[in-house]
Structure 1
Amino acid sequence: MAARTLAALTAAALAVALSAFAAPSASAAPECSDIEVIFARGTDEAPGIGKVGKAFVDTLKPMVKGKSVSTYAVKYPATWDFMKAAIGANDMSKRVQTIAAQCPKTKIVLGGYSQGAAVVDVVATAPIAGLGYTAPLPAALAPRITSIVVFGNPSARIGNPLTRMSMVYGARTADLCAPADPVCSLGRDWDSHVRYQESGLVKLGAEWAAKLIKAADQKPAAPKSDAAQGTSATSTR
């Protein structure tokens, strides 16, 4: 009798332990907000959306009053090993795919700062896998991304801002570079790279995102490129 009782208790304990590793239930699905900002932080910032990402979201919210805004912090090392940016690109792409599948009405805004901007570059310009990027964004999901806003984008330094690199998303992108920021321009003012929250460019980026969100509310199709390009070009003001 004691042996049977011990066996039953052991089985119950094992079942409880295994339940911790069970597949997530339906309740684990993301809550669907009106807008989700998927943001990749900069090099050496603590996990999360980073200071620039927080400033961007905090500035955007009052501009889209009446709409719920959620955030997703892209998961990647953000270390000085820049090749690992592909990890972030995979995570960002997978998050877009998850939201697109589970939240059909949610408008998606992609954002990134510094190395995080490079993460966005990969997602927006690489239609096939390569160099550690294993989860390309399906072309069919492009309309779900309402806008892209990046700050201090390294590719802009060599004359390839995302507005130019991406034929699909360029017209929906604000690629913003602070004056003399050596990461995204030929300038030499390193302080400008860490002062985006104070530069006025965060507000400009939020205004850009809010404008395209409102346009998407009024018209399902993406805004015309000729109207968008004037604002989305790399800013140096």
Structure 2
Amino acid sequence: MKVLAPLALGACVLATALTEDEFPALLNHSTIRFDRLQSKWELLSADKSNKNATKTKKPIFAPSPTRTRDHPLPDPTEPDPWSGLELNWPCLINDDFLELGCRPVMFFFARGSSQLGNMGRKPGPFIAKLLRDHYGFRNVSVQGVGYGAWVLGNLMKDGTDAKGINLMKQLLHEAAVSCQHSKIIVSGYSQGAAVVHAAFETLEQEVIDRTNAIVLFGDTRTKYSNNTVANFPRNKTLSLCNKKDIICEQGRLILNDNHLDYTNRSEEAAQFIIKMLPDVPSKHGKLPFHPPPPRPQYRP
């Protein structure tokens, strides 16, 4: 019999279907952490309309003994404790930076409208997995931007709400100040791309200079940005737009199947990020990638 179980893996929370034999084995895995499972799972399951939830919300930057200590570059040949551990679902909530501090590669991702957790199911977790496969699990910090991601945020002036913009700026500022030797990657999907655009319009120049690459998927602001991000070099920016994705091709907020799945662009995005980080050693050399199964062709 399979059970649906919430699991805390590192600083990640996911739901996965496990057999009765698999579950105890996974529980005993030395790298699984359950210390924050309860609060994270409540966040994932909570009704977003519950206004009282904000009264007990913890500070954005909780005290951490590691956040102000810059980590040296780990040995890329170090054995990966996650090797061979197959997960059925991607991480929905990832707080590596807030909980574990600095790593050589820092990946910040803003999810799309109505997606769960702070990462969503795709494409963010897939990019994160490819980067970890390439550099090693311990060498990559994955941090989701926990903004509201309300659908109505798309209708606001900046294409998203001010709280999400400020949260992105706070995270990047904290990373730039605390992790002097880390590489910073910023990414966003759909409304999350709008969060990236708006944040970089008013971000401090020293934080912008510390950012190594930006990758956008299904950008809702393409009509206004021309595939660029304000104050950021064009050659360090990759904006991916699926063919016939009306939202990013035409700048119209009309949702279709072509906007919903950017998983098939994950390898393209990861390869671009790796190209932007030539001085970070890889773990395996060639980037491993297993493409998702084909989906039916969209017909307008």
Instruction: Return the TM-score normalized by structure 1.
Output: 0.69
Q: Equivalent of 1:80, from 139, 151, 154?
A: 151
Q: Alignment partner for residue 246 of structure 2, among 176, 182, 196? A: 182
The answer to whether structure 1 residue 46 and structure 2 residue 122 are counterparts is no
Q: Tell me which residue corresponds to 2:70.
A: none
Unaligned runs of 5+ in 1: 1-19, 128-136, 219-237
CA deviation map 1:83-130 (0-9, x unaligned) = 343221111111111111111111110000000011011122x13xxx
Distance 2:206 2:116 in 1: 33
Q: Distance in 2 between matches of 1:32 and 1:24?
A: 14
Q: Residue in 2 aligned with 1:63?
A: 134
Partner of residue 27 from structure 1, selected from 33, 44, 65: 65
Contact residue 85 and residue 115 of structure 1 kept, 8 A: no
**Which residue is equivalent to 1:204?**
268
> Against the structure 1 CA distance between its residues 204 and 192, is the aligned structure 2 distance closer, same or farther, given a 3 Å change threshold?
same
Distance 1:71 1:96 in 2: 13
Residues of 2 paired with 1:66 and 1:57: CA distance?
Answer: 9
Aligned-pair Cα RMSD in Å: 2.7
**Structure 2: gaps (5+ residues):** 1-57, 68-99, 282-300
DSSP-derived class of the 2:65 partner: helix
Task: State the 1:58 CA deviation.
Answer: 1.1
Residue among 219, 225, 244 paired with 1:160 = 225
Give 1 or 2: higher helix fraction. 1
Conservation of the 8 A alpha-carbon contact between 1:148 and 1:169: no
Question: Are 2:102 and 2:182, in contact at CA under 8 Å, matched by a contact in 1?
Answer: yes
Tell me the residue number matched to 2:193: 117
The separation in 1 between residues aligned to 2:173 and 2:236, in whole angstroms, is 19
AA partner of residue 56 (structure 1):
I
Q: Mean Cα displacement is larger for which, 23-32 or 168-177?
A: 23-32
| Matched-pair contact (CA < 8 Å) for 2:214–2:236 | yes
Q: TM-score under structure 2 normalisation?
A: 0.55
Secondary structure (helix, strand or coil) at the match of 1:147 reads strand
Contact between 2:106 and 2:185, CA under 8 Å: does it hold in 1?
Answer: yes
Shift of residue 63, structure 1, vs aligned partner: 3.2
Q: Give the counterpart letter for 2:199 in structure 1.
A: V
Counterpart of 1:151 in structure 2 is 217
Distance of 1:46 and 1:111 partners within structure 2? 17
Shift of 1:81: 2.1
Structure 2 residue identity aligned to 1:182: I
**Could you tell which deviates more after superposition, 62-71 or 141-150?**
62-71
Q: 1:194 corresponds to which letter in structure 2? A: L
Task: Give the structure 1 partner of residue 180 of structure 2.
Answer: 104
Structure 2 counterparts to residues 128-143 of structure 1, below 5 A: 137-143=203-209
Structure 1 position 25, deviation (Å): 4.3
Query: Between the two proteins, what is the percent identity of the paired residues?
Result: 27
Which structure has the larger Rg over C-alpha atoms? 1
Higher relative contact order (CA 8 A, sep 6+): 1
Note the C-alpha offset of 1:162: 3.7
Q: Cα–Cα, structure 1 residues 76 and 26, in superposed 2: closer, same or farther, change >3 Å?
A: closer
| Deviation larger for 108-117 or 62-71 | 62-71
